[in-house]
Structure 1
Amino acid sequence: MNIRIAEELDVPALAELYQTTVLAVAPQHYSPEQTQMWASFASDTDNFQKFILNATTFIATDERGILGFAGITEDGHVTATYVRSDLIRQGIGSILMEKILEYAHLHKIRRLYAEASEFSLGLFQKFGFHIYDTEIVNRQGVLFRRYIVERS
């Protein structure tokens, strides 16, 4: 497996992975309306590109293509952790999270934080993040509960 930083040319493939993963995994924890709203973010080309490129987004690849991605900003915000839906629970998310932690260490980022979903919360907790709050967000009239997690 190789890890590299996302480039503009990667954005369409990352959007497809994001949408496919959300549509496959979210129904285990979220309503159909929530799932569709969440997945639709990948179709918002400009904002999705900013989501990927305004952070340092690491991409895991191998001969099968892109396996997953995870992003972090300079202030320690972990913006994304997504793994291809057919490869979840095979260690790819952990490898990407280790890369995020390595980046934070090298850049002397003392506090990491994220908004975790029901299905990403376990990964964050595995790497020492703890819940310090929850929030309800409204996306075009669709409400979502997110866990605000941090690691110092």
Structure 2
Amino acid sequence: MLLRRATAADAAGIGQLFYDTITEVNAADYSPAQVAAWRGGWQNLAGWQAKIQAQHFLVAEADGALAGFASLVPDGYLDFMFVSVRHQRQGVARLLLHALLAEAAQLGLQLVYTDASRTARPFFAHYGFEVEREQHPVIRGVALLNYRMVRPVFTPEPDTAS
């Protein structure tokens, strides 16, 4: 598994992985209307390129294919964490999270936070994030459910060998 900084050239692949993951993974936890609203805008290359430029944006590659991506805003907001349907439960998200937590520590941040989907909530909880509040953002006119979750940067993580 290769982790690297995303570049503008990754934008199309990131958008496609975003679309595919929401369609094939998150659809188990959200209605068809919610899935359609959430994944809308996935082809906005300029938007992805702006996020790549402004954030600590990482991609994970496995055998030359995009396996996942994640990003951290300088204030500690973990904006994206997506893993392709073909790479679920293979440690991709864990590797991305560890890299972003290392970046947060290097920035001197005390806390990281995210807006976790129903699907991602158990993953983040496993790695020490706690639910601060339930949220109902409206995206393209459709209400979704997510959770503001927070984690101190230096909290020891659970033993993943068990």
SS across alignment from 1:95: helix
Unmatched 5+ stretches in structure 2: 153-162
Deviation at 1:25, TM superposition (A): 1.0
Counterparts of 1:1-150 in structure 2 under 5 Å?
1-150=1-150
Distance 1:67 1:60 in 2: 5
The letter for the 2-side match of 1:135 is Q
- Once the two structures are aligned, what percentage of the paired residues are identical? 24
Distance 2:134 2:48 in 1: 24
SS across alignment from 2:95: helix
SS across alignment from 2:145: strand
The answer to whether the 8 A contact 1:51-1:79 is kept is no
Deviation at 1:51, TM superposition (A): 3.1
For each residue in 1:15-48, what CA deviation from the matched residue of structure 2 results, as whole angstroms up to 9, or x when unmatched? 0111111110122000001011111131233333
The letter for the 2-side match of 1:17 is L
Distance 1:52 1:85 in 2: 22
Distance 1:84 1:123 in 2: 15
Deviation at 1:140, TM superposition (A): 2.2
Distance 1:50 1:146 in 2: 24
The answer to whether the 8 A contact 2:129-2:150 is kept is yes
- Following TM superposition, the consecutive aligned residue runs of length 4 or more in structure 1 with deviations greater than 4 angstroms are none
For each residue in 1:55-107, what CA deviation from the matched residue of structure 2 results, as whole angstroms up to 9, or x when unmatched? 11111113241110110011000010000112111111111111111111111
SS across alignment from 1:3: strand
CA RMSD of aligned residues (A): 1.2
Q: How many residues align?
A: 152
The structure with the greater share of residues assigned to helix is 1
The letter for the 2-side match of 1:102 is A
Unmatched 5+ stretches in structure 1: none
The answer to whether the 8 A contact 1:76-1:111 is kept is yes
SS across alignment from 1:74: coil
